[in-house]
Amino acid sequence: MKLTSLRIITKDIKQSVQFYENAMGLTAQWYTEDFAELSTSSITLAIGSTRTMTLFSESLTASTGSKSSIIEFIVDNVDDEYERIKGITSEIVQEPTTMPWGNRSLLFCDPDGNLINFFTPVSPEAIKKFS
């Protein structure tokens, strides 16, 4: 089994896609007005409007964001990313902080309230884990 993508459902797809394009430094591939993807070498971030959920079930139309999961991106320098990210969101949950497990992490929210973590391994163990 291989995890290939993570899909975010949003009420405002244009705003969310623009946010992730800015945060990730990528350009989205739009497939319809209700579905776009941003791909990296390891995973695809898919973004769908709430209208796409009706294709699965009429009862799946809510989009409230999640504080029970975190979308994580490894970055070269989390402190540099913080300077860039604070220009595109005011919802910084945690400024760059070195965590007990050896990653320096920046936690912020996307426009729908989903938690995002940009992190850089800084301890020898964390660096080894991600190299």
The span from the CA of 32 to the CA of 3, in Å, is 23
Task: Enter the pTM of the model.
Answer: 0.84
Q: Which residue has the tokens 């910084």?
A: 92
Percent of the chain's residues with pLDDT above 70: 89
The span from the CA of 126 to the CA of 57, in Å, is 41
The span from the CA of 31 to the CA of 63, in Å, is 20
pLDDT class of 99 with cuts at 50, 70, 90: very high
Backbone angle region of 78, left / alpha / beta, with phi > 0 → left and psi within -120 to 50 → alpha: alpha
- The two three-digit tokens of residue 86, written as one number: 């604070």
Query: For 111-123, how does the pLDDT look when each residue is reduced to its tens digit (9 = 90+)?
Result: 999 999 999 999 9
